[in-house]
Structure 1
Amino acid sequence: MNLSNEEEENSLSLSKFESMLKTNKVFFFDSEEFEDIILHYMDTGRLNLAKRALKLGLEQHPKSTGLKLVQVEMLVYEDKLDIAEKLLNELYAIEPTNEEIYIQKANICSKRDEHEKAISHLKTALKYTDDYADVYSMIGMEYLFMDNLEMAKENFIKCLDEDTEDYSALYNVVYCFDFLDQNAEAIVYLSRFIDKNPYSEVAWHQLGRQYYALKNYEKAVWAFDYATLIDDTFLGAYMEKAKSLEKLKKYQEAIDCYNVTLELDDPSSFVLLRVAKCYERLGNNEFALNYYLKTVHEDPLLDKGWIAITDFYIRQKNFQKALYYVNKALGIDNDNSMYWKRFAAVNSALQYFEEAEYGYRKAFECGDINLDTFTLWTDVLQHLGEFDTAIEILQEANLVLPNEYEIEYRLAGLYFLTENSSKGNLHLVNGMKLELKHLSLFQELFPSVWTKTEVLSTIEKFKTRKKQ
């Protein structure tokens, strides 16, 4: 019987059963029809109807092993494991070579986290089953639960040897390769799989992903091309092909690919954002801005969209507009240190130093302890004349990031500005010990300090000692 006939008969059985429930008439179904009806309702989450069908089925076929196994499946689904196990033992006494009994025993063990026992039952099921693929797939899943990725991979491969169209198993095989960082091995396996199944668009797509992971973007595009040739509606393959083309700096081709995805599906903010970035890299700022704006129109709560427009205007040195859009991003995600950092940088460029100081402070409070956050923050404080506060922040930074010449030179300059020459000299020498060649940073940041006789003397003495 072909699949369409099976589906048609199942549909007729369901219609007949639901008609029976509505009219309170009792119709006869064979046991296999009942099994299909019950499993349909379980698959669609209508457990009450599944139970009614099971009850009527057992009334009409009280000795049906198939229906009792479906009953076991329902008990396992409801976590009534002890009752299910008892019923299975009764069925085992009647039909010890029924593979479904071992499969259900394995399901019970799996629910109890007894995965080794589950595998043992499934291996027994292999002796009696005609559906090796399904059992190998279940063994693979048990090994996944045990984090034994090598054995899981081995069994999913066996599953695919039996059924090359089991895409779930194919995805699981690739997952194992990915988890084990075996991209090269995955390519070898997928290439062999494709040799036998050249029209498997899923295999071509997964092969492309492996090449992408290894940064072989030319080969990735080649593989994704085949996936889209086999299935010209394969959205994921077009998407990943476009990403690969971006990596190759083939931005117009990437745009063309992204546009295919926009034709196949509703516009997504991710795709619109990628198209915008591609246009910007092509130097087409008008189209880039248009797509950036489309991105936030499509998803006004996408903070990455607003920050992308912020960055666009920063690159254009249009800081007033950048400030407007970074505030939009912060309105969505107020705890993002990178957004606060941009807020600070934009305000600093506009010479709004108090706002810039607030931005760097917020970035720090959000967990940003990068060196440039501390240095930019204290540079702003220096502009504001808040030398003592800047010193406190740099001292804290020194604990987190010791032996950084950029901190030492700044501490030196700030101590000289606060008339603490001894500490100024100490940190100046520390800075020169760390990076003498970057002494120009000290001169650049503190030109008034640089000309002090005492400072020049300290520098000269250090250089003289270093030559000796």
Structure 2
Amino acid sequence: MHFENEEEDRNLSLSKFESMLKTNKVFFFDSEEFEEIILHYLDMGKSSLAKKALKLGLDQHPKSTGLKLVQVEMLIYDDKLDQAEKLLTELYAIEPTNEEIYIQKANIYSKRDKHETAVELLESALQFSEDHADIFNLIGMEYLFMDNLEKAKESFIKCLEEDFEDQSALYNVVYCFEFLDQNKEAIEYLKTYIDRNPYSEIAWHQSGRLYYGLKEYELAAAAFELATYIDEEFIGAYMERGKALERLKRYAEAIDSYNQTIELGDPTSYALLRIGKCFEKLGNKVEALKYFNKTVHEDPLLDKGWIAITDFYVRQKNYQKALYYVNKALGIDDQNRLYWKRFATINKAMDNFEEAEFGYRKAVELGDFQLDTWLFWVDIMKIMGENNNAILTLIQAAEYFPEQFEIEYRMAGFHFLLHEEEKGNFHLSNALRLNSKNVTLLEELFPLVWDRESVQEYIAKHKKSE
């Protein structure tokens, strides 16, 4: 009831003030009313109205410290730091024990990147303030600016000891723990916090995130579920719970959790995509495809949606449709090496060798240096008869994978095809040294080379020497 009266009084003051502006009549407000009016307009982003209210307020209350401090806040917001500092010096001479003066001075030094001085001023403010929580929060932020995460963490913990309902401090303290790679310690801290405040959905949600990061998916799912019991409209907790349940292979429950997010808000492409993946894991291909299509309908620019449909059709060996959808994804993000690799693999399956070669080349150009990508690319070149280019590509691959028998057998095969016997023998020797058991790889890839008498003699000679 007390808060309702405050809200009514604020609304009356605002109506009265706006009426005064329209009629040019001058009404009297006490200084605190003016402060509330000004701060309301600042919160709304209406700085011109805030400035009008400040001018009228100072006209009526020229000695009001509260209004002058609001003026300081506005000067700092406008980056008029020297003017703000000068006014604060005047106010300090009048009220040296006003904590707000120290806080605003700290704000100025923070803006000047003098964060250590800002911390000293805020610590001075603690001596004169009854509300320590906000000041500890500000000190924590200064330490964050200085990248002193340990001190920041301590300050946010002190803030929460004073006011355990300060959600921003709770988020910040967890951030500090995570940045310091202290996830287990963060969980222990949250346990003590929850003992004091068991109905904090934020604490349960953050605990769930930390458990998920540690791959403790059962505990994560339970924590997220408790967050949803406390706040039945906590969309983020339902979403995170779905992810944890997926990890536990409890796909039907995960679908329910994702569906809850859709019931509470607009369908998100991410939730639709995850539901589709769950149905696919359950073997329900019809529902899976339905949700993948819903995903791209909801967000046609979500490349992951098109890729999900691509992968679905690849698993069905329907490469024509898979190619159509991978091209959709590439139309959105043509710098994604994994999409180009899919493009290449699909074209390879369809015997579109030129397109497949182009796809593998693009994947490598964009940073896909996986061994299998190099090998698939080279094998396509072999089919196309591009033996010299294949050798140059294998030389590149060998920089990333030296002493790799799969590369050496291929190098040997290509050199033999080009009748470069000495180089062929050199690489065949390397391959046999690295892995003689897999010599049949040469037979699989280069049957004509394998059938050569000279090659068989070289292999037999090597085996005798083993």
Indicate whether the TM-score tops 0.5: yes
Using the TM superposition, give the Cα deviation of residue 6 of structure 1 relative to its aligned residue in structure 2, in angstroms.
1.6
Using the TM superposition, give the Cα deviation of residue 365 of structure 1 relative to its aligned residue in structure 2, in angstroms.
2.5
Using the TM superposition, give the Cα deviation of residue 444 of structure 1 relative to its aligned residue in structure 2, in angstroms.
1.4
Match in the other structure for 1:25: 25
CA root-mean-square deviation: 1.1
Q: Which moved more, 1:355-364 or 1:281-290?
A: 355-364
Match in the other structure for 2:428: 428
Aligned-partner residue type, residue 61 of structure 1: H
Match in the other structure for 2:242: 242
Is there any run of 5+ residues in structure 2 with no aligned partner, and where? none
Correspondence 1:439 to 2:439: yes
State how 1:242-281 maps to structure 2 within 5 Å: 242-281=242-281
Match in the other structure for 1:320: 320
Using the TM superposition, give the Cα deviation of residue 14 of structure 1 relative to its aligned residue in structure 2, in angstroms.
1.2
3-state DSSP of counterpart to 2:439 = helix
After superposition, what is the alpha-carbon deviation per residue over 1:191-250, rounded to whole angstroms, capped at 9, x for unaligned? 111111111111111111111111111111111111111111111111111100000000
Match in the other structure for 1:308: 308
Match in the other structure for 1:161: 161
After superposition, what is the alpha-carbon deviation per residue over 1:388-407, rounded to whole angstroms, capped at 9, x for unaligned? 12112112222343222211
Match in the other structure for 2:454: 454
State how 1:102-251 maps to structure 2 within 5 Å: 102-251=102-251
Using the TM superposition, give the Cα deviation of residue 366 of structure 1 relative to its aligned residue in structure 2, in angstroms.
2.2
Correspondence 1:410 to 2:410: yes
- Equivalenced residue count is 466
Match in the other structure for 1:78: 78
Runs of 4+ in structure 1 deviating by more than 6 angstroms, as ranges, are: none
Using the TM superposition, give the Cα deviation of residue 364 of structure 1 relative to its aligned residue in structure 2, in angstroms.
2.2
Match in the other structure for 2:373: 373
Match in the other structure for 1:382: 382
Q: 1:443 and 1:226 mapped to 2: Cα distance?
A: 60
Question: Sequence identity, in percent?
Answer: 66
Q: 2:7 and 2:431 mapped to 1: Cα distance?
A: 79
Q: Which moved more, 1:432-441 or 1:65-74?
A: 432-441
Aligned-partner residue type, residue 334 of structure 1: D
TM-score where L is the length of structure 1: 0.98
After superposition, what is the alpha-carbon deviation per residue over 1:289-320, rounded to whole angstroms, capped at 9, x for unaligned? 11011101111111111111111111111111
Aligned-partner residue type, residue 431 of structure 1: A
Using the TM superposition, give the Cα deviation of residue 185 of structure 1 relative to its aligned residue in structure 2, in angstroms.
0.6
Aligned-partner residue type, residue 150 of structure 1: E
3-state DSSP of counterpart to 1:335 = coil
Q: 1:133 and 1:238 mapped to 2: Cα distance?
A: 31
Correspondence 1:332 to 2:329: no
Q: 1:371 and 1:395 mapped to 2: Cα distance?
A: 13
Match in the other structure for 1:341: 341
Aligned-partner residue type, residue 15 of structure 2: S
Aligned-partner residue type, residue 302 of structure 1: L
Using the TM superposition, give the Cα deviation of residue 333 of structure 1 relative to its aligned residue in structure 2, in angstroms.
1.2
Aligned-partner residue type, residue 351 of structure 2: Q
Q: 2:227 and 2:293 mapped to 1: Cα distance?
A: 32
After superposition, what is the alpha-carbon deviation per residue over 1:38-96, rounded to whole angstroms, capped at 9, x for unaligned? 11111221111111111110000000000011111111111111111111011001000
Q: 2:56 and 2:4 mapped to 1: Cα distance?
A: 27
Match in the other structure for 1:355: 355
Q: 1:382 and 1:440 mapped to 2: Cα distance?
A: 17
Q: 1:100 and 1:440 mapped to 2: Cα distance?
A: 81
Correspondence 1:48 to 2:57: no
3-state DSSP of counterpart to 2:79 = coil
After superposition, what is the alpha-carbon deviation per residue over 1:310-368, rounded to whole angstroms, capped at 9, x for unaligned? 11111111111111111111111112111111111001001111111111122222232
Using the TM superposition, give the Cα deviation of residue 148 of structure 1 relative to its aligned residue in structure 2, in angstroms.
0.7
Q: 2:117 and 2:4 mapped to 1: Cα distance?
A: 38
Q: 1:27 and 1:251 mapped to 2: Cα distance?
A: 65
TM-score where L is the length of structure 2: 0.98
Is there any run of 5+ residues in structure 1 with no aligned partner, and where? none
